[in-house]
Amino acid sequence: MKPILFYCYDAYCGWCYGFSPVMTQIANEYADLQIEVLSGGMILPEEPVHISATAGYIQSAYKTVEEYAGVTFGPDYLWHINNPDLSDWYPNSEKPAIALSIFKEFYPEKQVEFASDLQKALHFEGRDLTDDEAYKHLLEKYSIQPELFYERLKSEEYKEKANYEFALVKQLQVTGYPCVLLQESETKFHLLARGYTPYADLKARLDRALESIQ
């Protein structure tokens, strides 16, 4: 089998947002490498949990991500973090995971780009990813027919695809995001990144792993 690079992420993960430019650069540089983005299902409460439960933690954590990764969290996102008592957000990873699974069928080669767009929609533009409207601008960008997309977004079939990814990420023993693995064979994986990893480090590890396979 040809090696596959697995990028395990979550749309709500701030460190994954910081890691997006690194993965985008990797995807551009290794255009011949098959890359699969898997949604981890980081936030899947049985009952909706308001943003106020995590806002306090995010208030300090986002600054660390900005400092390390050189990304910027947008004012529209930070409004919800700094004014949780006024926010109507109930974060949930399921809908963006379903959106990614739909998108992958249209553009399998642009998975990293779309995952990055989802993160920008939340962390920079301040869109609520549990709201169907949050995806409209991306349908225009990628020329996807809205009726088709929204029909699939509400379907059991694509919900199952998202849940399959959550299970697969668990099976890969991923406990935090972002995480990057290179699959060499049915049973052999190389762990390349656990947590935010600078581009130069990830590239060096990926090159070493690819060389060892050949």
What are the Cα distances from residue 54, in Å, to 43, 57, 65?
A: 11, 5, 16
Whether the pLDDT of residue 6 is over 90: the answer is yes
pLDDT one-digit tens code per residue, 25-41: 999 999 999 999 999 99
The angle at the Cα of 65, spanning 64 to 68, to the nearest 5 degrees, equals 85
Quick one: pLDDT at residue 156? 98
Quick one: pLDDT at residue 214? 73
pLDDT one-digit tens code per residue, 57-82: 999 999 999 999 999 999 999 999 99
Q: With contact defined as beta carbons under 8 Å apart, do 100 and 39 qualify? A: yes
What are the Cα distances from residue 95, in Å, to 67, 118, 155?
A: 29, 11, 11
Q: What is the DSSP string of the chain?
A: ---EEEEEE-TT-HHHHHHHHHHHHHHHHTTTSEEEEEE------SS---THHHHHHHHHHHHHHHHHH-----HHHHHHHH-GGG------SHHHHHHHHHHHHH-GGGHHHHHHHHHHHHHTT---TTSGGGGHHHHHHTT--HHHHHHHHT-HHHHHHHHHHHHHHHHTT--SSSEEEEE-SSS-EEEEEES---HHHHHHHHHHHHHHH-
Q: What is the mean pLDDT of the chain?
A: 97
* Range 86-99 average pLDDT: 98
Whether the pLDDT of residue 43 is over 80: the answer is yes
Quick one: pLDDT at residue 1? 83
d(CA 20, CA 117): 9
pLDDT one-digit tens code per residue, 159-200: 999 999 999 999 999 999 999 999 999 999 999 999 999 999
Asked whether the CA dihedral 120, 79, 71, 18 is positive or negative, the reply is: negative
Tokens of 134: 């949050």
Q: With contact defined as beta carbons under 8 Å apart, do 209 and 190 qualify? A: yes
